[in-house]
Structure 1
Amino acid sequence: MHLPNDLIIGLDTIAMTTSKSLTGFRDIPPGAHFLWLQQPNGISRCGYWFITERHGTVRVKKWNRFHEVLAEPTAQEVRNIEASIETTYFSLQPYNIYEQQKQQKSPNTETIFNPSLVPQWARTQTLLWHTLTWAISTPFLECITGKKGVKEYLVDSTDCAKEIIKDSSHQEPIFSASKPLFNSTSSEFSFSFTQDFRDLQFLDAAGLADTKASVSDTTPRILAALNNGKSTTRDILAELQFTFITGTQLSNSACLDQWWSLVLKILLRAHALAVSHPMLARDLILTLHAQLYFTENYVGEASQARDSQDGKNKDVGATEPGSGRRNGPNADRLLYQYRPVNRLRLRHALAEYKRRLRTHGVILESNSDSGISATIIQQQEEERAALAHAWEELESWLWRCGWDLGRVEGERDAGRKEMEEFGRGNGFDGSKGKVMRQWPGDSEDEDEDGMPVVVELDENGREVGLVSFRD
């Protein structure tokens, strides 16, 4: 009700600019859904998570001009809308409005309409959205947002995470608000594994540089969360799904932080999970694949100002010079722009995960004339076969984007060998210092500019070429 003109509004995989004719959406299928809005020229967004269970339910929201947010209408306004739904039904936008329109086009790149290149779950927008959100439920939304007894769960770009602190009188960490609530609609997300992230950071810091990214298998941490009765496998998947959608659609930094931490510090390091809980590992890989695919094909570029002088995209996710092929997923998407170094970490974490799957006997790599790493199921158990298939689909899609995971391990070993040989062959005295052997993807630094590089040292262990006033 009362939406202003030129308001940007999105529902799941679709987005549009409002006009006076937009009164709502119809035929929304059962499941979890996300509606978000942005003011014209605004920098922040708000959104609603809601769960549909059956057809025929009418949900009504009214635009609040003062707070610039969707608010609850009066009971009388709701009754009036429900009474007139038969006449207004056909003026609502159908949920799958874009699927029929796009099917009439002839795409020249990989899209959901090229079945030979896309998994079954991504061939329609409805199927893709279900894959992205199937684990999110009403109890989960109540738990993570702290809102109970509501039909829709309001979230905002500025919502933050609850901070975990330790208290001597508590056996477990307790939550503490990291900022005061400025109104009753603010959310402070109750994330899982927050303390684990900190523990792993200290553990990694104590390890050697060349084993920093894989000093421990995080499978016991996931199993501990499952065995303490506070989380289920669905809850873990739901948090991965919630943080991704809320983070990318609203540019919410708390959710983006949590998603990257979950993926890089917990899930892709839970290597033994492929053996003990292969279906959970399969669901995690499938969800990650759907999220990366959604980012590539449905999320706009983070930067509106593009270098168009020569009509080419010059970011690191575009093309390799002279090769005619892409160098991985588009690096200008918000997910990667939020913290660019994480894109490189993701590539190496996936390569390491593949190596561990091969070590555990879940997959066996063989050479292929096409250049794509073929995956052969070594153990014929149904659950491991499902995991191997999910991994094969993800790896094949990444290869078409320009990431060959099979080359990453060789590049990593070659880079470390080069560093070691450089340290031995350039008069470096090991008693006065040490050569840093670290692959860029292992760095925990916030900025890519802090990546370790090979430098030449003099007899005193100082970098050659630096300016010194004492000299």
Structure 2
Amino acid sequence: MAASLSPSPTILVPHLPPKTLVGIDLITFTSTPNFHGIRDLPTGWHFLYTGTTESLSLRSGGWFYVGDIDETHQNAGAVVSTAREPRGPEIIIWRWDSNTETLVPLCAASDIDQQEAMRHKANLGATWQAGGLFGYRSRVPPSVISQRAAAAPEDQQVAAQNHGADEENEQEGRRDWEGLTDRLSPKLLSRVIGDPDVDVDGRPRWMVTSASTAPRDSDDIPGLPDPVQEPADSSKVTGEEESEFSFLPIDLKRTWREGAVGRERTEAAQDRSWALGDLLRQVSESTTGDDDGRRAEAQVLGELQFTFLMVLTLMNYSCLQQWKRLLELILTCQAAIKERELFVRDALRLLLLQLKRCGDVEGGLFDLDGEEGGDFVRKLLMKFRRSLYVVVDGAGSAVKNEFAQLEAWVRDEYDWELNREAVARRGMVQLEDGEQVELDINDDDEDDEMGEYAPVIVDLGENTPDSPLQHDDDDGLDDMRM
């Protein structure tokens, strides 16, 4: 039978309990008793995760790659060798551990695991024929959504149209996923997460949970153990030590070089291009071992991709904070708009794609951010637009062209007006009862140094006879006040 002779790349999840939340890339579903895995996996990065319930439960998952990871990422530097003897299509097996309620790969060091892997591979054809393998999908087909609300169409022409729409929707979803993961690499995942697990066939898997965190984002509550300092406690839940993220070091409160004073510090605080360049220099020295700026930029963009997807799939809090820090650093640069034009263009292109998919997270990505919601991104984009039109004159800029697409999309989707000059800041508003009141929009006071952000005069204390501010003549006092 064709299924047993030439199976497609497949991931098997034997013994998975029914009604378990399962997610693969950008799609989620609830497992059925007959669900045993996913077939037809396309080449590239994938993230498979599970949760005991659809919400309010710990989620855990793993990153893995379909295809030859060495050839695809030879420039990025693979951390594990996947070079092996030629074999058939990839059959990845992660079995369910009922003690930890997580999926774990079969281990090459265990004879029992090796025998189990051989048994599952030998029975793959029968499992496929019995309908136990679901075909890979990048998103829910539109026809399925419409059939949930109404009866399935009987007309063949309508069915054919739905099939065409499904195929177009699927291809768009795969392009989106590729755009969201094309900067990931084994080196980046190992830097951020740690060394991967290796299965019976030598394939690496990088494990992440919704509780994984970076030290700077963990809460230090007196009397309670620190989850980062004492990871052994979390192993009781996940079955292994909790991941401690090693994110890129971003300090938005200090964006100038050491020893800078006066105007240099002020300008570096307003234009964070120096901080971005310094971060890229550190990345080049620590990860690439050379001065290849494009590779360092790929690491930053890759971390922007990783953190966003971990929020989207696992609702990981620490990744949300790092995603915001990366965005704030990039979008508050001015000189870098010209000096690192391709990097800024790629960052804007990635942000637009992420915003298009942020509704995939349960409740919406912006709702995870407390009361601020999307105001954080909107205000950043408004500031960036002002810098962009100051730095870049005329048309022909790759950054300006990319930003124009982003600006048009957020205006249509969220009704965000990023041009500050197009919005009246003060005016009279008539209430329902006919009374007119003056309305003042002060959400940009920080930029204009108004309101609570206005400069203040600080009293350094009373003048004494010995004080250098004490003068005998009024002219001297007038000079000091000027």
TM-score (norm 1): 0.65
Aligned residues: 347
Of the candidates 375, 386, 391, which is equivalent to residue 344 of structure 1? 375
Find out whether 1:223 has 2:272 as its counterpart: no
Counterpart-to-counterpart distance in 2, 1:249 and 1:353? 28
- Structure 1 residue 68, shift from structure 2 partner: 1.1
Give the equivalent residue in structure 2 for 1:86.
Answer: 125
- Structure 1 residue 138, shift from structure 2 partner: 1.2
- Are the equivalent residues in 2 in contact too, given 1:248–1:335 (CA < 8 A)? no
Counterpart-to-counterpart distance in 1, 2:246 and 2:229? 13
Counterpart-to-counterpart distance in 2, 1:260 and 1:66? 35
Counterpart-to-counterpart distance in 2, 1:252 and 1:97? 21
- Are the equivalent residues in 2 in contact too, given 1:32–1:50 (CA < 8 A)? yes
- Are the equivalent residues in 1 in contact too, given 2:19–2:30 (CA < 8 A)? yes
Counterpart-to-counterpart distance in 1, 2:144 and 2:403? 28
Q: In the superposition, relative to structure 1, how do residues 282 and 409 fare at CA in structure 2: closer, same or farther (>3 Å)?
A: same
Q: In the superposition, relative to structure 1, how do residues 97 and 257 fare at CA in structure 2: closer, same or farther (>3 Å)?
A: closer
Counterpart-to-counterpart distance in 1, 2:400 and 2:305? 21
Counterpart-to-counterpart distance in 1, 2:45 and 2:241? 20
Q: In the superposition, relative to structure 1, how do residues 388 and 121 fare at CA in structure 2: closer, same or farther (>3 Å)?
A: farther
The residue type paired with residue 45 of structure 1 is: R
Counterpart-to-counterpart distance in 2, 1:63 and 1:409? 57
SS class of match (2:252): helix
Of the candidates 86, 98, 113, which is equivalent to residue 65 of structure 1? 98
Find out whether 1:32 has 2:45 as its counterpart: yes
| Deviation sequence 1:221-253 (CA, Å, 0-9, x none) | 222222342351111011101111112321211
SS class of match (2:270): coil
The residue type paired with residue 226 of structure 1 is: L
SS class of match (2:420): helix
- Are the equivalent residues in 2 in contact too, given 1:154–1:185 (CA < 8 A)? no
In the TM superposition, structure 1's runs of 4+ consecutive aligned residues that sit over 6 Å from their partners are 120-123, 440-443, 451-454
Q: What are the equivalent positions in structure 2 for 1:363-442 lying under 5 Å apart?
A: 364=394, 378-379=395-396, 384-385=397-398, 387-411=399-423, 414=425, 439=444
- Are the equivalent residues in 1 in contact too, given 2:22–2:31 (CA < 8 A)? yes
Of the candidates 231, 242, 245, which is equivalent to residue 181 of structure 1? 231
- Are the equivalent residues in 2 in contact too, given 1:352–1:409 (CA < 8 A)? no
- Are the equivalent residues in 1 in contact too, given 2:378–2:418 (CA < 8 A)? no
Give the equivalent residue in structure 1 for 2:35.
Answer: 22
- Are the equivalent residues in 1 in contact too, given 2:49–2:60 (CA < 8 A)? yes
Of the candidates 342, 355, 358, which is equivalent to residue 279 of structure 1? 342
- Structure 1 residue 288, shift from structure 2 partner: 0.8
- Structure 1 residue 83, shift from structure 2 partner: 2.2
- Structure 1 residue 356, shift from structure 2 partner: 1.6
Return 5+ residue gaps in structure 1 as ranges: 108-112, 114-119, 165-175, 302-332, 365-377, 417-436, 444-450, 455-471
| Deviation sequence 1:135-194 (CA, Å, 0-9, x none) | 111111111111245311111111110349xxxxxxxxxxx9843212334100000033
Counterpart-to-counterpart distance in 2, 1:248 and 1:198? 27
Find out whether 1:129 has 2:174 as its counterpart: no
Q: What are the equivalent positions in structure 2 for 1:142-181 lying under 5 Å apart?
A: 142-148=190-196, 150=198, 151-163=204-216, 178-181=228-231
SS class of match (1:60): strand
Of the candidates 171, 183, 188, which is equivalent to residue 140 of structure 1? 188
Q: In the superposition, relative to structure 1, how do residues 63 and 147 fare at CA in structure 2: closer, same or farther (>3 Å)?
A: same
- Are the equivalent residues in 1 in contact too, given 2:25–2:138 (CA < 8 A)? no
| Deviation sequence 1:297-339 (CA, Å, 0-9, x none) | x2332xxxxxxxxxxxxxxxxxxxxxxxxxxxxxxx1333323
- Structure 1 residue 88, shift from structure 2 partner: 2.9
Counterpart-to-counterpart distance in 1, 2:419 and 2:344? 23
Counterpart-to-counterpart distance in 2, 1:355 and 1:178? 40
- Are the equivalent residues in 1 in contact too, given 2:197–2:205 (CA < 8 A)? no
Counterpart-to-counterpart distance in 2, 1:177 and 1:253? 14
Counterpart-to-counterpart distance in 1, 2:268 and 2:351? 20
Q: In the superposition, relative to structure 1, how do residues 97 and 250 fare at CA in structure 2: closer, same or farther (>3 Å)?
A: closer
Q: What are the equivalent positions in structure 2 for 1:175-324 lying under 5 Å apart?
A: 178-182=228-232, 183=235, 184-194=240-250, 196-199=251-254, 215-228=269-282, 229=284, 230=286, 232-264=296-328, 266-296=329-359, 298-301=360-363
- Structure 1 residue 452, shift from structure 2 partner: 6.5
- Are the equivalent residues in 1 in contact too, given 2:197–2:206 (CA < 8 A)? no
SS class of match (2:50): strand
Of the candidates 2, 9, 19, which is equivalent to residue 6 of structure 1? 19
Rg comparison, structure with higher value: 2
TM-score (norm 2): 0.63
- Are the equivalent residues in 2 in contact too, given 1:344–1:441 (CA < 8 A)? no
Q: In the superposition, relative to structure 1, how do residues 149 and 24 fare at CA in structure 2: closer, same or farther (>3 Å)?
A: closer
- Are the equivalent residues in 2 in contact too, given 1:240–1:262 (CA < 8 A)? yes
Q: What are the equivalent positions in structure 2 for 1:108-123 lying under 5 Å apart?
A: none
- Are the equivalent residues in 1 in contact too, given 2:183–2:302 (CA < 8 A)? yes
The residue type paired with residue 276 of structure 1 is: E
Counterpart-to-counterpart distance in 1, 2:65 and 2:20? 24
Counterpart-to-counterpart distance in 1, 2:274 and 2:320? 24
The residue type paired with residue 276 of structure 2 is: I
Return 5+ residue gaps in structure 2 as ranges: 1-13, 69-87, 107-112, 149-160, 162-167, 199-203, 218-225, 288-295, 428-441, 455-482
Q: Which moved more, 1:11-20 or 1:243-252?
A: 243-252
Counterpart-to-counterpart distance in 1, 2:446 and 2:311? 23
